[in-house]
Amino acid sequence: MATPEQIQQEKAARRAAIRTEYWRTITNPHAHLHGESGGVFDTGLARFQAMRVNHFEHFKPTGRTLKIGMLTTVIPIVAYAIMMKRERDAREKEYRTGQVAYKDRRFKFI
């Protein structure tokens, strides 16, 4: 079993190797001869981008995703629509019963 110090040294050695490979690749003045653009190909970034592109191809609808979708999308929209409708109906009732003078109305053309 490796001790924490040995693990830390191995990580530092891996980091140093990756750092030297990066600098060797990025500062290579002859990279254009090999058809490379001079940038470093990051496999982790490529995997991440591929995952983002293919996410919906592998999506499986479950009860959990249904709940999340309902709680974050449908319910807030419906609740906001109900609140707006109630507020507008109450304001319209005040206007129609004469409780609010015409000069004090928020919108004159309602």
Does residue 34 sit within a domain? no
Does residue 76 sit within a domain? yes
pLDDT in tens, 40-89: 777 888 999 999 998 888 889 999 999 999 999 999 999 999 999 999 99
Is this model's pTM higher than 0.75 or not?
no
- Domain enclosing residue 4, as ranges: 1-28
Does residue 52 sit within a domain? no
Residue type at 109? F
Does residue 23 sit within a domain? yes
pLDDT of residue 42: 79
Does residue 54 sit within a domain? no
Backbone angles phi, psi at 36, to 5 degrees: -90, 155
pLDDT of residue 37: 62
Q: What is the DSSP string of 24-61?
A: HHHT-TTGGGGT--SPPP-HHHHHHHHHHHSTGGG---
